[in-house]
A and B are shown apart, each in its own frame.
Chain A
Amino acid sequence: MALEIPVDSTTTTTNAAGPNPGEVIVTDNLWKTYVMGDQQVNALRGVNLRIRHSEYVAIMGPSGSGKSTLMNLIGCLDSPSQGRYWLNGHDVSQLNDDELARIRNKEIGFVFQTFNLLARATSLHNVELPLIYNGTPTAERTARAKEVLESVGLGSRMDHKPNELSGGQRQRVAIARALVNRPSIILADEPTGNLDSKTSVEIMALFQELHAKGNTIVLVTHEPDIAEYANRIVTIRDGVVAGDQLSTRNRNQQP
């Protein structure tokens, strides 16, 4: 297993001042270094990033570029070796496991490539799961899970287990689960990676719908056509931000 070690860096910090009003994600000189055997691998080498509320951002990059590592840090699934990270105004870069779990529960909705649903639980129970950990009362939990399942078009599939659903429906359950806690950001890691083209289009349409309703979406993908659904594309290469631009579609919509 890779071990995390602190790393000295001379990278210029450009986000050290922290978040400005309206910004939900701010990273300052974010490093992640793993020790693998006798080698040190710098997966991230000083990433500076600012994402505003209600933005729809795609993080793109080839395999091994560090985009998944960045997603893990942004999703509070991992802690940086160096640098700072503010999520919704709070510095979360030095929090312990349980504090990070609370932040993940409250602030982040995850959508994974492999759906990651509990196989033996119904759609409704899968969606209710995040609410259990923050102590939401049963009646409210069920009502909110039903409401959000209906909003993703699965009102008639609440009692079905994952193996009784299609790939697209499973991903909709995962999206409903991501939404149920009304998080600050929705973090989607290759959400169409396990879906056929037609279903991928449907799922991306759903993300656009969610964005239109004001949700902040961070989409991690290596597929340019999927990244084009976002308004802004951040390209990661060799552990640094290699590009940060509006998507073609968004550029075309600019006056």
Chain B
Amino acid sequence: MARSVTKLSLLGMLRRSLVHRRARSFSALIAMTVSAGVATALLTLYADLDTKLHKEFRSFGANVVMTAPADKPLAAGVLEKVQRALPADAVAAEFAYAVATTDKGTPVVAAGTDFAAVRRLNSWWQVDAWPAEGDADAAIVGQRAAGFVGDAKALKLAFAGRSIALRSVGRLSTGGDEDSRIYMPLAALTQWTGVAPSVIEVQVPGGAATVEAAIARLKQEFPELQIQPVRQLVEGESKIVDRTHALMYGAVVLIALTVAVSVLATLSASVLERRRDFALMKALGGSQGQLMGMFLLEAVALALAGVAAGFVIGSAAAWAISEGNFHTATLPHLSVLPVVLALNLVIAAMAALFPVRVLRGLQPAALLKGE
């Protein structure tokens, strides 16, 4: 029966070796794919991690507080200047505070602010309903402050002999000092009490360095104001980001080592199984370089195939993890491909070290004699 005659070449021999030892090749390929997949997923997440974590931390509220001196409240237009001095995605809201008396005669802190800005700034606040924009007499009442007033819906407050009637549209719960306050529009508070804003709370997106830089800039522009970072937030965020980075690096290294051991076992078995074939090739004139080149080519081919499959799988995993945890998709990062490729090639090279030593030490005479 006539058969098709394929041409013999080193590449053909490589293909034949991989195909005919498909179980071993497959197990090595799986290991390489796992390594490339995990590395791709982690590095892809890593590339977006800062942005995503900082975005998550934004929900914790202000990380910088600007306070006016007690005897000199904030001048008109300071908020706009602050906003101009900060990155476009920074959020700032100003606050004025006055101690008023409720209809039950209980002192309570009345805070005037811009609800729209506060809602962006403190997205973590639990408010059952926010006042509509432009609603001049709407207020939100803190959980504890609700107990200080006679009618929690129709608020009546007095300050220095002047009273104000407000509608409570929502209840505020933060677990902090805010629960003891009544928030109303800044214009309404200023008009009622004559108290001007004295505090600006700012949310600067980014890590500790970015926040410190923003503070430095603000201090330079507003030397009369006391400007402080919210330390526990800025430093906590920085620590979490750094530890997450270290964890990811550690995971990649650990997985790379595990995979290297697995590939080492596979490649070693592959060489030991074919000692006789390699001995024959040596006897027929194959140089050490040619034989090792052929063997290393096998390892490299497996590494490259692993990178191709692993990059696709790892990118998909990163997308799913990101969607699940951060609710935003992380797109594949081609920039991680060279790193993943280098990692897999290093694993292949490490795993090939022992088999290559076996190859170098092969004695064709004894093996071909069947000893």
In the complex the two chains form, is A114's CB within 8 Å of B282's CB? no
In the complex the two chains form, is A105's CB within 8 Å of B284's CB? yes
- Interface membership of A195, Cβ < 8 A: no
In the complex the two chains form, is A118's CB within 8 Å of B370's CB? no
- Kindly identify, within residues 177 to 216 of chain A, every residue whose CB is under 8 Å from any CB belonging to chain B: 177, 181, 189
CB-CB < 8 A to B20: which residues of A? Answer: 120
- Interface membership of A152, Cβ < 8 A: no
CB-CB < 8 A to B369: which residues of A? Answer: 68, 112-114, 189
In the complex the two chains form, is A104's CB within 8 Å of B8's CB? no
The contact string, 1 if C-beta is below 8 Å from chain A, for chain B 1-12, is: 011010111100
Please measure, in the bound complex, the distance between the C-alpha atom of A110 and the C-alpha atom of B285, giving whole angstroms. 11
- Interface membership of A128, Cβ < 8 A: yes
Q: A110-B284, A118-B280, A130-B284 are in contact. Are A98 and B365 (CB under 8 A)?
A: no
- Kindly identify, within residues 286 to 325 of chain B, every residue whose CB is under 8 Å from any CB belonging to chain A: 286-290
- Interface membership of A223, Cβ < 8 A: no
**Cβ contact of A138, chosen from B9, B283, B364, cutoff 8 A:** B9
- Interface membership of B281, Cβ < 8 A: yes
Please measure, in the bound complex, the distance between the C-alpha atom of A123 and the C-alpha atom of B54, giving whole angstroms. 66
Q: How many residues of A contact B (CB 8 A)?
A: 38
Q: How many residues of B contact A (CB 8 A)?
A: 28
In the complex the two chains form, is B364's CB within 8 Å of A77's CB? yes
In the complex the two chains form, is A138's CB within 8 Å of B7's CB? yes
- Interface membership of A159, Cβ < 8 A: yes
In the complex the two chains form, is B277's CB within 8 Å of A118's CB? yes
- Interface membership of B276, Cβ < 8 A: yes
- Interface membership of A91, Cβ < 8 A: no
In the complex the two chains form, is B365's CB within 8 Å of A77's CB? yes
The contact string, 1 if C-beta is below 8 Å from chain B, for chain A 87-121, is: 00000000001100110111000101110101011
**Cβ contact of B283, chosen from A1, A77, A98, A124, cutoff 8 A:** A77
Q: A112-B368, A116-B368 are in contact. Are A142 and B284 (CB under 8 A)?
A: no
- Interface membership of B16, Cβ < 8 A: yes
**Cβ contact of A129, chosen from B16, B284, B364, cutoff 8 A:** B284
CB-CB < 8 A to B363: which residues of A? Answer: 1, 77-78
Interface centre among B3, B281, B283 (most CB of A within 10 A): B283
Chain B residue with minimal CB distance to A141?
Answer: B8
Total A-B residue contacts, Cβ distance less than 8 Å: 86
CB-CB < 8 A to A106: which residues of B? Answer: 285
In the complex the two chains form, is A72's CB within 8 Å of B365's CB? yes
In the complex the two chains form, is B286's CB within 8 Å of A101's CB? yes
Q: A120-B20, A128-B8, A142-B7 are in contact. Are A101 and B287 (CB under 8 A)?
A: yes
- Interface membership of A49, Cβ < 8 A: no
- Interface membership of A151, Cβ < 8 A: no
Interface centre among A124, A133, A189 (most CB of B within 10 A): A133
- Interface membership of A134, Cβ < 8 A: yes
Please measure, in the bound complex, the distance between the C-alpha atom of A101 and the C-alpha atom of B282, giving whole angstroms. 7
In the complex the two chains form, is B368's CB within 8 Å of A120's CB? no
CB-CB < 8 A to B282: which residues of A? Answer: 101
- Interface membership of A158, Cβ < 8 A: yes
Q: A112-B368, A116-B276, A116-B368 are in contact. Are A124 and B5 (CB under 8 A)?
A: yes
Distance to closest chain A CB from B292 (angstroms): 11
CB-CB < 8 A to B280: which residues of A? Answer: 116, 118
CB-CB < 8 A to B283: which residues of A? Answer: 75, 77, 104, 110, 116
Q: A114-B370, A121-B16 are in contact. Are A134 and B285 (CB under 8 A)?
A: yes
In the complex the two chains form, is B7's CB within 8 Å of A98's CB? no
CB-CB < 8 A to A181: which residues of B? Answer: 285
In the complex the two chains form, is A133's CB within 8 Å of B5's CB? no
In the complex the two chains form, is A129's CB within 8 Å of B3's CB? no
CB-CB < 8 A to B365: which residues of A? Answer: 68, 72, 75, 77-78
Please measure, in the bound complex, the distance between the C-alpha atom of A125 and the C-alpha atom of B20, giving whole angstroms. 16
Please measure, in the bound complex, the distance between the C-alpha atom of A220 and the C-alpha atom of B125, giving whole angstroms. 94
CB-CB < 8 A to A134: which residues of B? Answer: 285
- Interface membership of A132, Cβ < 8 A: yes
In the complex the two chains form, is A129's CB within 8 Å of B8's CB? yes
In the complex the two chains form, is A133's CB within 8 Å of B286's CB? yes
Distance to closest chain A CB from B271 (angstroms): 15
The contact string, 1 if C-beta is below 8 Å from chain B, for chain A 38-78, is: 00000000000000000000000000000010001001011
Please measure, in the bound complex, the distance between the C-alpha atom of A142 and the C-alpha atom of B6, giving whole angstroms. 10
CB-CB < 8 A to B286: which residues of A? Answer: 101, 105, 133
Distance to closest chain A CB from B208 (angstroms): 59
Chain B residue with minimal CB distance to A134?
Answer: B285
Please measure, in the bound complex, the distance between the C-alpha atom of A125 and the C-alpha atom of B276, giving whole angstroms. 17
Beyond the given A114-B368, A116-B280, A142-B5, could you list 14 further A-B residue pairs with CB under 8 A, ordered by the A residue number?
A77-B365, A77-B368, A102-B285, A104-B285, A110-B368, A112-B368, A112-B369, A113-B369, A118-B277, A122-B5, A124-B5, A124-B8, A138-B9, A141-B8
The 9 closest A-B pairs by CB, nearest first: A105-B285, A77-B365, A159-B3, A72-B365, A133-B285, A125-B8, A98-B287, A130-B284, A128-B8
A-B contact pairs, 16 of them (CB 8 A): A68-B365, A97-B287, A98-B288, A101-B282, A101-B287, A112-B369, A114-B370, A116-B280, A116-B283, A118-B277, A120-B20, A129-B8, A130-B285, A133-B285, A138-B7, A159-B3
Q: Which residues of A contact B (CB under 8 A)?
A: 1, 68, 72, 75, 77-78, 97-98, 101-102, 104-106, 110, 112-114, 116, 118, 120-122, 124-125, 128-130, 132-134, 138, 141-142, 158-159, 177, 181, 189
